């Protein structure tokens, strides 16, 4: 850690997040933060001479590590989906906003945020959370940002218990969702629209994807262009994936650091005239702004966000 001081923060931070996954709560985070503060003050107070301060310099790693661990626990605890007693609201109606949506051949998968619960003819405030909705059948008129009326038939997301199955419950919790329901698409009614910036961008991506799909290109070319430009590689067929994998270039099909690097080089090259007028810093600012905008436009996928940040 002496050669990489950032590890003094990163490792305890990761440990705190893992502890939160296994039951650590805000009280433990507060206790660690208090111990870290007391330890730091004690080291400072007892080192009165330059020699003592030099000798005890290495001890500061302890309060720093404890504070980082407390931060990790707090971060995971704040972002963890809330536990809600949906038994008290099941059977009632709910008004929700669609924040993400994906159509398949026979169903629609949505993530919604509740806005209100209808109980006995009155609307009550809904808890702040994200909910997973899947439907039997498709409604292609629904888009991100729409307000929908949904009957409450929620249940907690659990694993099926099959051998070697993916821990779907943990995966969904990491996505901020703890509850799900599967209903007929006819039970979901659009009642309005209140698009946010992200939902507006999602609609633009949908229109661009539709324009590519309606072009005269072959289906494989259409799917490849959609994957590279919009970050949606779900349309890539299994044969194409297998060919790219056999060639060792499967990473091309998913937006990542390679694509962000190529985009940054293209933008940086196109802005080269700014150097001739002494605006090199402006050239850098515009490049970074366009990269950040592209990351937001493609939906802030983890691989794109990480590459853009780096």
Q: Could you tell me the pLDDT band of residue 35, with boundaries at 50, 70 and 90?
A: very high
The mean-pLDDT minimum among 139-143, 180-184, 243-247 falls in 243-247
Tell me, what's the pLDDT at 209? 84
Identify each DSSP E strand in 62-213 by its residue range: 93-103, 108-119, 122-125, 130-136, 146-151, 155-156, 177-184, 189-193
- Above pLDDT 90, what percent of the chain? 12
pLDDT digits (tens, 9 = 90+) for 63-74: 999 999 999 888
- At 222 the pLDDT is 84
Q: What is the pTM of this model?
A: 0.65
At 42-81, the pLDDT tens digits run: 988 888 888 888 888 888 888 999 999 999 888 887 777 7
- The C-alpha atoms of residue 82 and residue 129 are separated, in whole angstroms, by 7
Whole-angstrom distance, CA of residue 192 vs CA of residue 145: 9
Does residue 34 carry a pLDDT above 90? yes
């Amino acid at each position: 850690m002496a050669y990489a001081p950032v590890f003094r923060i990163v490792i305890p931070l990761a440990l705190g997040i893992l502890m939160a996954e296994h039951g650590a709560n805000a009280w433990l985070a507060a206790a660690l933060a208090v111990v870290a503060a007391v330890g730091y003050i004690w080291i400072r107070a007892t080192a009165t001479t330059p020699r003592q301060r030099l000798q005890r310099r290495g001890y500061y790693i302890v309060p720093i590590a404890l504070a980082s661990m407390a931060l990790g626990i707090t971060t995971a605890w704040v972002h963890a989906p809330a536990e809600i007693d949906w038994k008290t609201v099941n059977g009632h109606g709910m008004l929700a906003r669609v924040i993400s949506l994906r159509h398949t051949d026979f169903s629609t998968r949505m993530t919604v945020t509740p806005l209100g619960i209808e109980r006995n003819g009155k609307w009550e405030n809904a808890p702040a959370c994200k909910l997973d909705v899947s439907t039997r059948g498709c409604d292609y008129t629904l888009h991100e940002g729409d307000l929908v009326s949904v009957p409450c038939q929620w249940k907690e997301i659990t694993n099926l218990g099959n051998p070697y199955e993916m821990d779907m419950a943990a995966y969904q919790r990491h996505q901020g969702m703890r509850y799900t329901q599967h209903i007929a698409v006819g039970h979901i009614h659009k009642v309005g629209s209140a698009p946010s910036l992200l939902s507006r961008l999602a609609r633009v991506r949908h229109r661009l994807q539709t324009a590519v799909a309606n072009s005269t290109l072959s289906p494989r070319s259409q799917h490849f262009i959609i994957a590279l430009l919009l970050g949606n590689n779900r349309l890539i067929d299994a044969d194409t994936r297998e060919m790219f994998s056999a060639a060792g270039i499967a990473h091309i099909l998913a937006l990542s650091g390679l694509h962000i690097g190529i985009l940054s080089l293209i933008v940086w090259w196109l802005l080269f005239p700014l150097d001739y007028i002494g605006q090199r810093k402006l050239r850098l600012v515009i490049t970074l702004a366009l990269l950040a905008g592209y990351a937001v436009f493609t939906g802030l996928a983890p691989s794109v966000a990480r590459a853009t940040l780096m």
